[in-house]
């Protein structure tokens, strides 16, 4: 099958090839407009699922078997980071055996460069919980400023902040709850300490679901849960009595929690599925079935947002696996409509936010996006670059503090775009190229193949170009 996919064929859905150097324009990825996409497509394991599962398994005495693990360079880097912290990975046929390996000595400070935001949060929690001194080297394009700021606040001098121990309210230090819970959970899991978190926004429950798959008796309760324990209900009554009616989610990790051996087959990557879903939505006549997709409400935030804009996304062949939904998504082309998105609607999106901004440029009416500060990355500002590119393409965009107003249009012409080595920009520009008339050239698009190996090859076999 792989040999067949290498053959150039006139029956393709997306035409990608290396663009030649012309004048001052360096080589990039040339993309031709696609007429329609049709067929079935599947992907290797979801990035977040793979990172969480392998990190939990690295703390277990017995081996966990992981199938459909990403083969991308970024995951190989992440696996190396876990091995540096003492994890053991053994490849057998098409799966990995993961367990606790040889204990790491703490005499010398280890040098670790996380490949992305979630990896940085997980590795920081593990390193501190294991008592391993680490010198962090962040890639500024792949680790956002808010994640680096959060880790600096949670782990001053490499040690867990005193207010982040035991019964913890992350937002007392103005931390982002959905991000802070990740390093805190892994810190206490690695240390064997119990933990009680109070969260305003639980965010994706993927980590909680996976911990249960490893037979860890994790408790998750909300203040309005009638089945919550008496302490939780009493605290909720006290808050209402003082006029603080904000609902909290309480996550309780028992003392001495030890991951048990598990067999986990990873569902398809949500990031890749999001790209294909947007392409199929925007290109007329498209009808694509994306198989084995993780349907976790938090990880599926992009699909929910796109459906709000009118996208025709149908869940078929749904099944539950260890309390987690998995199924196929059928996506057909449909006209989009502008909507409003705030912090709550965008809380589970990171790089996929650029895909949602692009969707708004082809939606009827106005779309309003608030709380976009997390997209600014120091001197490398992908959001600023993206907005400038869209304005040059004559898209009407209004800017206000930490937000945008985008008035959609139906068509666009091919142009040269610079992805700056940022995966969110590269994905959005690739979709824009497939939608635009004529050829587009995306510079720095090699990050697409690094993050999603084989994605462009799969897209070639989903239909016919103009």
Question: What is the rounded distance in angstroms from the CA atom of residue 247 to the CA atom of residue 265?
Answer: 35
- Is residue 124 within 8 A of residue 151, CB to CB? The reply is yes
pLDDT of residue 94: 86
pLDDT of residue 7: 27
State the chain's maximal CA–CA distance in angstroms: 72
| pLDDT surpasses 60 at 392 | yes
Pick from 31, 62, 40, 7: which is nearest to 286 by CA?
40
Question: What is the rounded distance in angstroms from the CA atom of residue 138 to the CA atom of residue 404?
Answer: 28
- Is residue 168 within 8 A of residue 196, CB to CB? The reply is yes
pLDDT of residue 457: 82
Q: What is the pLDDT of residues 12-31, one digit of tens each?
A: 456 666 654 444 444 578 88
Q: Residue 465: which pLDDT band, with cuts at 50, 70 and 90?
A: very low
Give Cβ neighbours of residue 76 (< 8 Å, ≥ 6 apart): none
Task: List Cα–Cα distances, 175 to 123, 127, 129, 170, 347, in angstroms.
Answer: 18, 20, 19, 6, 13
pLDDT of residue 322: 67
Q: Residue 346: which pLDDT band, with cuts at 50, 70 and 90?
A: confident
Which span out of 5-19, 45-59, 438-452 was modeled with the highest average pLDDT? 45-59
Question: What is the rounded distance in angstroms from the CA atom of residue 268 to the CA atom of residue 233?
Answer: 38
Q: Which residues are catalytic?
A: 351
The torsion region of residue 292 among left (phi > 0), alpha (psi -120 to 50) and beta comes to: left
pLDDT of residue 5: 30
- Let me know if 253 is exposed, middle or buried by CB neighbors in 10 A (0-12, 13-18, 19+): buried
Q: Residue 56: which pLDDT band, with cuts at 50, 70 and 90?
A: very high
SS3 101: coil
SS3 19: strand
- Is residue 313 within 8 A of residue 384, CB to CB? The reply is no
Which span out of 38-42, 62-66, 157-161 was modeled with the highest average pLDDT? 62-66
Pick from 243, 196, 250, 202: which is nearest to 223 by CA?
250
* Side-chain-facing half-sphere of 214: CA atoms under 13 Å: 30
* Integer-rounded Cα radius of gyration of the chain: 22
* Side-chain-facing half-sphere of 412: CA atoms under 13 Å: 32
| pLDDT surpasses 70 at 304 | yes
pLDDT of residue 263: 93
H or E element, residue 179: helix 177-191
Pick from 207, 209, 164: which is nearest to 188 by CA?
164
Question: What is the rounded distance in angstroms from the CA atom of residue 349 to the CA atom of residue 408?
Answer: 21
- Is residue 201 within 8 A of residue 178, CB to CB? The reply is yes
- Is residue 149 within 8 A of residue 159, CB to CB? The reply is no
H or E element, residue 290: strand 287-294
- Residue found by looking up tokens 């459906």 in the block: 307
Kindly provide the residue ranges of all beta strands, DSSP E only, lying in 322-393, ordered along the sequence. 324-332, 340-341, 366-369
For 104-118, 229-243, 253-267, which range has the lowest pLDDT when averaged over its residues?
229-243
- Is residue 424 within 8 A of residue 350, CB to CB? The reply is yes
Beta strands 366-369 and 403-407 are antiparallel
Using the Cα atoms of residue 296, residue 259, residue 121 and residue 401 in order, give the sign of their dihedral: positive
CA angle 428, 466, 275 (to 5 degrees): 20
| pLDDT surpasses 90 at 47 | yes
pLDDT of residue 201: 80
Report the chain's mean pLDDT, rounded to a whole number.
84
Question: What is the rounded distance in angstroms from the CA atom of residue 222 to the CA atom of residue 380?
Answer: 39
Q: What is the pLDDT of residues 133-144, one digit of tens each?
A: 888 898 877 888
CA angle 377, 381, 382 (to 5 degrees): 105
| pLDDT surpasses 70 at 289 | yes
pLDDT of residue 377: 61
């Amino acid at each position: 099958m792989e040999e067949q996919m290498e053959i150039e064929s006139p029956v393709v859905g997306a035409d990608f090839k290396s663009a030649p150097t012309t004048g001052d324009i360096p080589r990039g990825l040339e993309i031709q407009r696609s007429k329609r996409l049709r067929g079935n497509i599947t992907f290797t394991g979801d990035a977040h699922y793979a990172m969480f599962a392998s990190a939990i398994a690295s703390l277990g005495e017995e081996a966990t078997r992981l199938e459909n693990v990403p083969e991308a360079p970024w995951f190989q880097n992440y696996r190396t980071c876990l091995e540096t912290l003492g994890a053991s990975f053994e490849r057998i046929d098409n799966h990995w055996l993961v367990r606790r390996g040889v204990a790491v000595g703490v005499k010398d400070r280890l040098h670790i460069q996380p490949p992305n935001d979630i990896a940085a949060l997980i590795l920081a929690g593990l390193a501190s919980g294991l008592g391993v001194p680490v010198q962090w080297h962040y890639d500024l394009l792949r680790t956002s400023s808010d994640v680096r700021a959060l880790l600096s606040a949670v782990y001053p001098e490499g040690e867990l902040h005193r207010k982040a121990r035991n019964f913890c309210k992350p937002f007392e230090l103005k931390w982002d709850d959905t991000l802070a819970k990740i390093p805190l959970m892994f810190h206490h899991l690695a240390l064997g300490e119990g933990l009680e978190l109070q969260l305003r926004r639980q965010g994706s429950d993927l980590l909680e679901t996976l911990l249960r798959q490893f037979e860890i008796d994790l408790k998750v309760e909300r203040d309005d849960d009638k089945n919550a324990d008496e302490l939780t209900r009493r605290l909720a009554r006290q808050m209402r009595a003082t006029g603080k009616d904000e609902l909290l989610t309480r996550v309780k990790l028992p003392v001495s929690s030890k991951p048990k051996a598990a067999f986990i087959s990873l569902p398809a990557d949500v990031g890749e599925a999001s790209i294909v879903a947007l392409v199929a939505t925007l290109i007329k006549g498209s009808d694509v079935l994306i198989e084995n997709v993780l349907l976790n409400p938090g990880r599926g935030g992009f699909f929910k947002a796109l459906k709000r804009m009118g996208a025709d996304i149908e869940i078929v062949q749904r099944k539950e696996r260890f309390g987690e939904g998995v199924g196929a998504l059928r996506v057909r082309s449909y006209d989009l409509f502008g909507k409003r998105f705030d912090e709550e609607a965008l809380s589970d999106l990171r790089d996929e936010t650029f895909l949602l901004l692009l969707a708004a440029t082809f939606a009827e009416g106005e779309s309003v996006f608030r709380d976009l500060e997390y997209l600014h990355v120091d001197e490398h500002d992908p959001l600023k670059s993206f907005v400038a590119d869209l304005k040059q393409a004559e898209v009407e965009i209004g800017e206000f503090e930490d937000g945008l107003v985008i008035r959609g249009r139906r068509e666009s012409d091919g142009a040269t775009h610079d992805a700056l080595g940022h995966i969110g920009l590269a994905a959005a520009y690739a979709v824009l190229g497939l939608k635009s008339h004529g050829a587009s050239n995306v510079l720095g698009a090699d990050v697409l193949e690094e993050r999603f190996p084989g994605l462009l090859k799969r897209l070639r076999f989903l239909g016919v170009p103009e």
